[in-house]
């Protein structure tokens, strides 16, 4: 008998996505769905979508979904968790959403240590609106609103979200991963799973920043987009854990971590 070694995750809807070819969002969608399967929490998970390319991400999971206004997803997820602690809300937010218009909601949900999960898709660009400068656009990087490249004298410097939030006492788990090759995709998968486990264990807020390719707005071939992450983006946004509280360490290293609390 043939053995199935690769199939669509249970928690993922059987439909086309609206993502562009080579976009990292598709991979992230799959990784989240795999985590929902592994942890068996699809019936309790709630996808809070944001504004940008993640706008209709709730279409792609077989769990309840809710739309947040631009930047407000952490506030929406906060209320879901406070009102129905048995649910597992997670947000999927781009860099413009989480680190520009939603900075206040991001910082304060983190400072309160809300027991929610934030997935932060950093592709250093406003993809949905056609490639304008994001708060994470690299210095010198071209965008449709920084002709000739981002200049620091007028457009300032990119924000390192993980580093900034790691200074707060509230969050439990802050990590940055990347999708630029299979080994790193596997690490991203593990981080996504860990973030859900942190919430299941009631340990507090997790933020997983995912460096993600946007070949269309970057005007690069998909393979070159991955190379751009590896060779350029990681220099500005180094990968790794920025905050792992003791409880999370125990969770990562401990036994039987998957049993829901």
Rounded to 5 degrees, φ, ψ at 143 are: -150, 170
Range 182-186, long-range pairs (CB < 8 A, 24+ positions) = 184/239, 185/27, 185/31
DSSP state letter for 60: G
CB of residue 45 vs another protein: minimum separation in angstroms?
Answer: 8
Closer to another protein by CB, 69 or 166: give it: 69
Main-chain dihedrals φ then ψ at residue 6, nearest 5 degrees: -150, 125
Smallest separation (angstroms) from another protein to the CB of 142: 28
**What's the min distance (Å) between Cβ of 70 and another protein?**
8
What radius of gyration, in Å, describes the C-alpha atoms of the chain? 17
Binding site for another protein (CB under 8 A): 18, 42-46, 48-49, 55-56, 58-59, 61-69, 72, 75-80, 82-84, 86-87, 89, 104-105, 107-108
Of 11 and 229, CB closest to another protein: 11
Nearer to another protein, 120 or 228 (CB): 120
The residue among 116 and 208 lying less far from another protein, judged by its C-beta, is 116
How far apart CA 130 and CA 70 sit, in angstroms, is 16
Asked if 210 contacts 120 with a C-beta cutoff of 8 angstroms, the reply is yes
> Could you tell me the smallest distance in angstroms from the CB atom of residue 248 to another protein?
24
We find the least distance from the C-beta atom of residue 241 to another protein, in angstroms, to be 26
Closest CA to 230 of 175, 185, 181: 181
Give the CA-trace dihedral at 44, 84, 241, 257, to 10 degrees: -50
* Distance separating alpha carbons of residues 140 and 256, to the nearest angstrom: 47
CB of 44 to another protein, least distance (A): 5
Nearest residue (CB) to another protein, 20 versus 107: 107
**Comparison of 68 and 118: residue with beta carbon closer to another protein:** 68
């Amino acid at each position: 008998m043939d053995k199935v070694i690769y199939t669509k995750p249970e928690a993922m809807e059987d439909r086309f996505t609206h993502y562009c070819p080579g976009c990292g969002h598709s991979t992230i969608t799959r990784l989240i769905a795999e985590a929902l399967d592994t942890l068996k929490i699809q019936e309790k998970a709630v996808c809070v979508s944001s504004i940008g390319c993640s706008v209709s991400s709730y279409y792609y999971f077989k769990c309840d979904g809710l739309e947040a206004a631009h930047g407000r997803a952490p506030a929406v997820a906060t209320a879901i968790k406070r009102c129905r602690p048995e649910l597992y809300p997670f947000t999927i937010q781009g860099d413009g959403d989480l680190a520009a218009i939603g900075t206040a909601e991001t910082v304060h949900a983190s400072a309160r240590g809300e027991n929610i999960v934030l997935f932060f898709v950093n592709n250093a660009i406003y993809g949905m609106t056609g490639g304008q400068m994001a708060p994470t656009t690299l210095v010198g990087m071209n965008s449709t609103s920084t002709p000739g490249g981002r200049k620091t004298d007028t457009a300032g410097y990119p924000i390192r979200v993980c580093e900034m939030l790691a200074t707060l006492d509230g969050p439990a788990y802050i990590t940055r991963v990347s999708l630029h090759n299979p080994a790193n995709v596997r690490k991203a998968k593990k981080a996504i799973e860990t973030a859900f486990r942190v919430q299941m264990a009631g340990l507090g807020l997790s933020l997983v920043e995912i460096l993600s390719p946007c070949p269309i707005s970057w005007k690069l071939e998909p393979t070159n987009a991955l190379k751009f992450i590896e060779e350029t983006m990681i220099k500005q946004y180094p990968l790794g854990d920025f905050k792992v509280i003791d409880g999370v360490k125990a969770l990562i290293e401990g036994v039987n971590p998957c049993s829901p609390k």
